[in-house]
Amino acid sequence: MESLNLAIENARSRYASQNPLSQAADKSAERYFPGGNTRTVLHYDPFPLTMVGGDGAELTDLDGHRYVDFVGEYSAGLFGHSNDVIKSAIHKALDSGVAMGAPTPYERELGSLLCERFPSIEMVRFCNSGTEANLMALTTARVETGRNKLLAFNDAYHGGVIKFLGGRCALNMPFDFVLADYNDIDGTAELINQVGEELAAVIIEPVLGAGGNIKADRSFLEMLRQMTKEVGALLIFDEVKTARLGAAGIQGMLGITPDITTLGKFIGGGLPTGAFGGSAEVMGQFNPKTSGALAHAGTFNNNVCSMAAGCAAVGEIYTPQRAKEFFDWSEAFRLSLNEMFAAKAVPMYANGLGSIVAIHFSSGPTKRPSDISTGCRSLRPLLHMELLLDGVLVCGRGDLFLSLPMDETHLSKARLALEKFIDRYKPLIGQVLQH
């Protein structure tokens, strides 16, 4: 649509003229990185901002602009930038040696914290990323069941080699996946029955993140729990992002216990890590004190900086009480956005749950990724650019992640920027969605 394209072009040209240093840095990075980029999700047109510093809930870019950071490192940045407690834990760990090539007290402390919090995690193992955690969970399920087929959901993201955004991805691991539609109880149940005794596992993110921060219906998750049991498959909850929604993640909130849980992002206090855990029986396969045990390797599985940062983050900062308060505060913000959208009679909706939010161009909650309209997708770049121009850093696809150092000033900056966007573009939004 021409008027939308013109509006996007106009916003991009204002953005380019305000960010000459980021533009030049992007250009020169093209010499050594394809398209100047080493992490696809961080690219957006016309070029991404180069960030040079962060403190609390704010970031500063190369051209000197300050932003409220709602990208929040795609949810891993729960603690904001340079949290003092985490910083001193890392410094202390650094002072006493890294890369020790042996077990250390840190991983034992963080492991015990996670096992005590998550009902499904009797035993745990660390790895280096959420992707690795999911790979380990899926391969563990295949070994445990002696089966090959795996069920995942359209538009789910479980890591760079396990993603189904807009279909199967060329870089995916060559596992035998069947795909169902998120929140489709009947269709998914039928597929589970069809695959039946060949099914090793179902993997699901209880809020479908990259697919639009779509909350799974409780009844949908309950069906998955029951049917996987019936066919003898394992249920894997990917709580890499959703674990932040409560002391025990979504599983704790809903009282639904998967067989394997995967974690990552915030549990390393902002440093790289991942974890997968489950019952003592399933995880017992990795016990090196038994013969024929599965060997799970990884030079940096227990790297002391991530483990020390994680202990401080999970143990000292994100206590169950803090997690509950943060959820309530974030959810109130999300609901307040929806009240504002309704009052302005604009078809926009803050999907998601608690501190995991995505702005959709629709009049109500999105239940399935297939409900996201082409118009909604095509309006996202405009919203993204305009919010950046107003100092509110959000993800290109419309996600906002709240972080602990945020306060009401940060939230009202986002609310005001959204109001300004609506006042400027409401007629255009209507036209695009009708098209």
Ligand X SMILES: Cc1ncc(COP(=O)(O)O)c(C=O)c1O
- DSSP 8-state code for residue 345: T
| Distances, alpha carbon 330 to alpha carbons 6, 72, 325, in Å | 35, 14, 9
What strands, in cross-sheet order, belong to the sheet with 66-69?
Answer: 51-55, 58-61, 66-69, 392-393
Q: Tokens standing for 337?
A: 């956005």
Q: Which of 22, 83, 134, 261 binds ligand X (CB under 6 A)?
A: 134
Residue 157 or 326 with smaller CB distance to ligand X? 157
* 129 is a contact residue toward ligand X (CB under 6 A): yes
Q: Which of 240, 263, 376, 394 binds ligand X (CB under 6 A)?
A: 240
Of 104-112, 233-241, 348-356, 361-369, the window that binds ligand X (rule: CB under 6 A) is 233-241
The nearest distance, CB 274 to ligand X, in angstroms, is: 6
> Which residues, at least 6 apart from 109, have a Cβ–Cβ distance to it below 8 Å?
307, 311, 315
Site track 53-92 with ligand X (rule: CB under 6 A), x = hit: ---------------------x------------------
Instruction: Determine the residue type at 198.
Output: E
CB of 130 to ligand X, least distance (A): 2
Q: For 248-271, what is the HEC assignment?
A: CHHHHHHCCCCCEEEEEHHHHCCC
244 scored as a contact of ligand X (CB under 6 A):
no
Cβ closer to ligand X: 134 or 306? 134
238 touches ligand X (CB under 6 A): yes
CA distances 80 to 312, 372, 396, Å, are: 14, 30, 19
CB of 366 to ligand X, least distance (A): 17
Instruction: Choose between 15 and 164: whose C-beta lies nearer to ligand X.
Output: 164
Return the number of the residue (22 or 403) whose C-beta is nearest ligand X.
403
- Least distance from ligand X to the Cβ atom of residue 142, Å: 18
DSSP 355: T
CB 369 within 8 A of CB 35: no
Minimum Å gap between C-beta 175 and ligand X is: 15
Judge whether 137 and 125 are in contact, CB under 8 Å: no
Residue 391 exposed, middle or buried by CB count within 10 Å (0-12, 13-18, 19+): middle
Q: Which of 26, 69, 205, 386 binds ligand X (CB under 6 A)?
A: 205
Question: How buried is 41 (Cβ within 10 angstroms: 0-12 exposed, 13-18 middle, 19+ buried)?
Answer: middle
Q: Which is nearer to ligand X, 240 or 311 (CB)?
A: 240
Site size toward ligand X (CB under 6 A) is 15
Nearer residue to ligand X within complex by CB, 85 or 161? 161
Tell me, residue by residue from 306 to 335, as one string, x for binding to ligand X by CB under 6 A and - for no binding. ------------------------------
* SS3 assignment for 102-129: CCCHHHHHHHHHHHHHCCCCCEEEEECC
Task: Name the residue nearer to ligand X (CB basis): 157 or 333.
Answer: 157
Which chain residues interact with ligand X by CB under 6 A?
Answer: 74, 129-131, 134, 157-159, 205, 209, 238, 240-241, 264, 274
